[in-house]
Amino acid sequence: MPDIFYLPGGSTYIAITALIAILWTTLVFLVRVFLRQRVNGPFGWDDAACGAATFLGLVHSALVLGAAHYSLGWPLETVTAQDFNKCLILMYAYSLIYILALAFTMISVALLMQRITMDKKVIRCTHGLIAATVL
């Protein structure tokens, strides 16, 4: 088998996964924007929350790529102390960004449920979910 298919260390798999996540996230968001413009109505708060979640998801994947550059996934004996510290900082940052992206995703789903339903109980529940997510 040619050497082109040899993937050393685990960071290569992490980088491939992060790049695929960036591509698919961007593609799905662009499809959502296209459908909202051309097919089914005006933009709403759910679209804004989805846009924020998408942006934060892209930032998260970019930070994962940065951590993979600074030795995420490599054996510990091959990592310098300086690279290890940079990797830990990036891991901390992408963990915080992930929490924010998850919160905006939940808010987006709750706002979408408000948009498509007329039931007052569901609307009150979504208000409670949004308030709990913000807190």
* 105-129 pLDDT tens trace: 999 999 999 988 888 898 899 999 9
Residue 106 near residue 129 (C-beta atoms within 8 A): yes
pLDDT digits (tens, 9 = 90+) for 62-108: 999 999 888 888 888 888 899 899 999 999 999 999 999 999 999 99
Determine the Cα–Cα distance for residues 46 and 30; give it in Å rounded to an integer.
Answer: 15
Residue 83 near residue 71 (C-beta atoms within 8 A): yes
Determine the Cα–Cα distance for residues 75 and 95; give it in Å rounded to an integer.
Answer: 21
Determine the Cα–Cα distance for residues 42 and 128; give it in Å rounded to an integer.
Answer: 25
Residue 61 near residue 22 (C-beta atoms within 8 A): yes
Whole-structure pTM value: 0.85
Write down the domain spans for the chain.
3-134
* Residue of 131, 130, 113 lying closest to 122 (CA atoms): 113
